[in-house]
Chain A
Amino acid sequence: MNVQTFTPQAFHRQAHDALGNPQIRSNFRRAMDGLMAKRRDAFGDWDIETLRDLGANIRLRALAKLPDLLEQLEANCQANGIRVHWAEDGEQACRIIRELCEARGARHVIKGKSMVSEEMHLNDHLEAAGIEALESDLGEYLVQLNEQTPSHIIMPAIHLNTEEISDVMHDRTGTERTIDVDYLTAAARAQLRERFMAADVGISGVNFAVAETGTLCLVENEGNGRMTTTVPPVHIAVTGIEKVVEHLRDVPPLYALLTRSATGQHVTTYFNMISGPRKPGERDGPEEVHLVLVDNGRSSIYQDNELLDTLRCIRCGACMNHCPVYTRVGGHTYGTTYPGPIGSILMPHLMGLEATKDLPSASSLCGACGEVCPVKIPIPDLLVRLRKEAVGEGRGNVEGAGVKRDRKEVLAWKGWQWLATHPGAWRAGAGVAGKFRFLSPSRLGPWTDYRTAPKPAATSLHAMVKQHRRKLEREDEK
């Protein structure tokens, strides 16, 4: 399988390629249709609006108290024996984790699913230091075997079909070519069990970090998360600073929203709540547990009342599943760690608007993402805000703001504004435009790819109304 590199800068070309790829179109269409139906069923007997309000308010309360809760989380984790580390950016977080691995002489790291670790390219960093980092979530494992990145935050290998997966596993691990999913799953189980036993360190993400109790919560179906956090002698959990919640009682509603929104499940197979390393007398579990709190742009999102809502996200992926753009172009097209609507409002802060300027526009603003978001993030409003930032109208506190600002466009709009507020000039202009309408271009850039170019009317509406009035007056006179 050929390895492709995707970048947000090449969004338009990548989207064009994906739209012309029937395999991608059908893989995503089928998967997303299924997920949308399952989500609807899973919320069937719920007062979903009340539950979403609760979810939103829990997240907003956590954000309102964020610095205090982070300190409380740190103190309670430390009291439980979890060592807490802080990182301003991905690079620093990678270094902290590498040093923790090196301190243990670790050569083999097994990983549970963690989008933050993808965001900071942890695997590459560890491998450059001679430490093997192996993904254990089945989807992540397959994507890693295929030398790709995840195309969905919950279902990383959703872009591959069974035959493609069978080929990858055959080529890389020597399994038989088959479309028997049970066989492929069992083969991966056997391969990864050896790796769990051999791993020196387990690295996982965190779904919710509870300040009140110093507890790290992990949501999963496979059991690889439990393996990763239980089998190796060291567990390193890595998370964005926004994942903290205040109370343990805040967790059940968020968990209920997360699983139903993500995969339409009433509950996942495992909900794993870790509050410390192995205590004296306990028989298994890691000797050391570390928590790495990563900022990486989040504290600057936090400064702004509107952008702040981005940080409510609980990473369910429902906005992707329901997005008419994502469903058609797939996750790789965005060229970013987080694809789809949430990626389009988050990645500009992580990478700057210059690299990601096309993402806020990769939306029809249909509103589906905001409608399904379990914590009511007004995603369409945030997309519009970032569009404004890109053309330099916003407050400019997003890195790269104004990157799409075009002097000619600004002048054109200024001219338009002047004309529209000066009726005499407007009418004269409309008259001239009507007379010379044969000169108006038939192609207007990409706009006319799917539309006909507008032509000024031979007679403007103003003129027609005037003529009509005169006619009526003449009839009255008669």
Chain B
Amino acid sequence: MSARESILRRLRERADGTLPIPEADFSVVTGRGWSQEERLQRFEARISSVHGEVIHASTDEWVVALREMLQTKGVTRLGLGRDHPVASEARAALQATGIELVDAGRDIETWSREQFESLDAGLTSTRGGIAETGSLWLWPTPDEPRRLSLVPPLHIAVLDAEAIEDTFFDVVERHGWAGQMPTNALLISGPSKTADIEQTLAYGVHGPRELVVLIRH
């Protein structure tokens, strides 16, 4: 008998018989009823408390804020996609700035080390935000692959204010995640961190040292 069959048989032929199936009441993880104003405040308070940096900008002028931020931080090589409106608008606005725009939508085998060693920042869109925990949700695409939000030392995430919802549970339910899970779905809540050395918080242990959330209104 295979391991699979014998494990399943032991579980099915349980000595103490079948188990009752309890009801689960999910009301505690939903129904917050926050206004958009409250959602925004909560999101910002939470993500700031874990060293996420928030920049507010208008939907029309956000690329100006992006450009200023990149120049302040001294970014010279920025990884980004091509197709997503966030990427294409950013590309148009950063043309003559001297910042090198690095195409992230390439097969990773052709530029893995380059991505590890020479990118200053990665720019991605986000699908939305979660107010309760100050989280971003991302479904990486061929245009903005998984490593773009992970490998460069600075991650810039663009978020629309109205895409912030109350709780993780609400997001999973309202957007029907269960019926359409992508290869990789991510929640990101701040820059990479560790407290493994004597509980002292340090940022940027493996992933980005800095996370900037550019919120568009």
Contacts and interface: CB of A to CB of B under 8 A. Distances in A.
30 contacts: A53-B25, A54-B28, A60-B21, A67-B8, A70-B11, A86-B7, A88-B3, A88-B7, A138-B196, A142-B196, A157-B196, A165-B197, A165-B198, A181-B197, A185-B202, A189-B204, A212-B178, A213-B178, A222-B207, A223-B192, A223-B205, A231-B147, A248-B177, A266-B132, A267-B133, A270-B207, A275-B181, A275-B185, A293-B7, A308-B19
A270 B186 contact: yes
Contacts, number: 257
Interface of B: 2-4, 6-8, 10-12, 14-16, 18-29, 46, 50, 104-108, 112-113, 116, 132-135, 142, 145-147, 150, 167-169, 172-173, 177-178, 181-200, 202, 204-208
A207 to B, nearest CB: 13
A449 B120 CA distance: 63
Contacts of A247: 178
A279 B178 contact: no
A120 interface: no
B107 A223 contact: no
A64 B206 contact: no
Given A253-B28, A272-B186, A283-B104, 18 more contacts: A54-B24, A70-B11, A86-B2, A87-B3, A92-B3, A142-B197, A157-B197, A184-B197, A227-B207, A248-B172, A249-B169, A251-B172, A255-B168, A256-B168, A270-B207, A274-B184, A275-B182, A304-B16
A252 interface: yes
Interface stretch (A101-109, A294-302, A420-428): A294-302
The listed residue with most B CB atoms (<10 A of its CB), out of A160, A250, A272, is A272
A185 B183 contact: no
A347 B55 CA distance: 50
Contacts of B12: 67
Contact of A161 (B4, B14, B198): B198
Contacts of B184: 230, 272-275, 285
A69 B120 CA distance: 44
Contact of A138 (B18, B27, B205): B205
A477 interface: no
Contact of A213 (B29, B105, B181): B181
A58 interface: yes
A284 B8 contact: no
B113 A252 contact: no
A263 B173 CA distance: 27
Contacts of B105: 283
Contact of A185 (B178, B204, B207): B204
A245 B105 CA distance: 34
A305 B108 CA distance: 50
A51 B28 CA distance: 6
A197 interface: yes
A50 B28 contact: yes
Contacts of B108: 283-284
A63 B190 CA distance: 34
B197 A138 contact: yes
Contacts of A157: 196-197
A193 B192 CA distance: 14
A333 interface: no
Contacts of A248: 172, 177-178, 181
A302 B172 contact: no
Given A230-B150, A252-B168, A224 B206 contact: yes
A65 interface: yes
A130 interface: no
Interface of A: 27, 30-31, 34, 46-47, 50-51, 53-54, 56-58, 60-61, 63-67, 70-71, 86-88, 92, 136-139, 142, 155-158, 160-162, 165, 181-182, 184-186, 188-189, 192-193, 196-197, 212-215, 221-224, 226-227, 230-231, 241, 247-253, 255-256, 263, 266-279, 281-285, 293, 295, 299-300, 302-305, 308, 397
B26 A273 contact: no
A7 to B, nearest CB: 26
B29 A256 contact: yes
The listed residue with most A CB atoms (<10 A of its CB), out of B22, B46, B191, is B22
A279 B107 CA distance: 12
B197 A185 contact: yes
B183 A279 contact: yes
Contacts of B192: 221-223, 269-270
A305 B11 CA distance: 13
Nearest to A273: B185
Contacts of A142: 196-197
A160 B196 CA distance: 9
Nearest to A56: B22
Nearest to A161: B198
A142 B196 CA distance: 9
Contacts of A65: 21
Contacts of A70: 7-8, 11
